[in-house]
Amino acid sequence: MKPINLRDAIEQVPFQPFVLEMDNGRSLRVPHRDFIFLTPAGSTAVVVERASEGEHTHIVDVDHVSMIRFDKKAA
């Protein structure tokens, strides 16, 4: 994944929830832009997921994102 593609997904107006599909098969939902931070260089993202037991923070190497899937269920 190129950082510009992820930055475009984060900055789109209006924001559309999306899922990061990782190259290891894992999926991370991003329901709102407040749940993701992309470093200035774009090589690393921080994604916060809500779960019934609280929040989980994931540090993501953007090179390992295989695709962005826009998903209304991510909201």
For 62-71, write each residue's pLDDT tens digit: 999 999 999 7
Q: Is the pLDDT of residue 73 over 70?
A: no
CATH number for the domain spanning 46: value is: 2.30.30.100
Domain around 49: 3-74
Q: Is 11 exposed, middle or buried (0-12, 13-18, 19+ CB in 10 A)?
A: exposed
Share of the chain above pLDDT 70, in %: 95
Q: Cα separation of 57 and 72, whole Å?
A: 22
Per-residue confidence (pLDDT) for residue 51, from 0 to 100: 82
Averaged pLDDT for residues 47-75: 88
Pairing of strands 36-38, 44-51: antiparallel
Under 8 Å between Cβ of 44 and 62: yes
Q: Is the pLDDT of residue 48 over 90?
A: yes
Q: Is the pLDDT of residue 27 over 70?
A: yes
Choose among 5, 1, 2, 7: nearest CA to 40. Answer: 7
